[in-house]
Amino acid sequence: MEEKKSNPIKAILYVSVWVIIWGTLGSFIDYPLYKNKIYLEGSIFQYLTFSITAIIAIISAKFFYKKFEL
């Protein structure tokens, strides 16, 4: 069996896209919560919002990485 080589440029672009997705998704969730004064900027809840979306993004990135066969 021939082992497939990973292209580092594709891998870097893939991770970069997922960082953008994570930041965008986290911001879309954070903005209405912040504007409606559900929590304050810099609070533990804002940290949790971005941490939870990061976990979701990491799991999704791992799942789709196998599908894309980069």
Residues 14-66: pLDDT tens digits? Answer: 999 999 999 999 999 999 999 999 988 889 999 999 999 999 999 999 999 88
pLDDT bracket for residue 7 (50, 70, 90) = confident
- Going by pLDDT thresholds of 50, 70 and 90, the confidence category of residue 1 is low
CA 18 to chain CA centroid, Å, is 5
**CB atoms inside a 10 Å sphere around CB 9:** 8
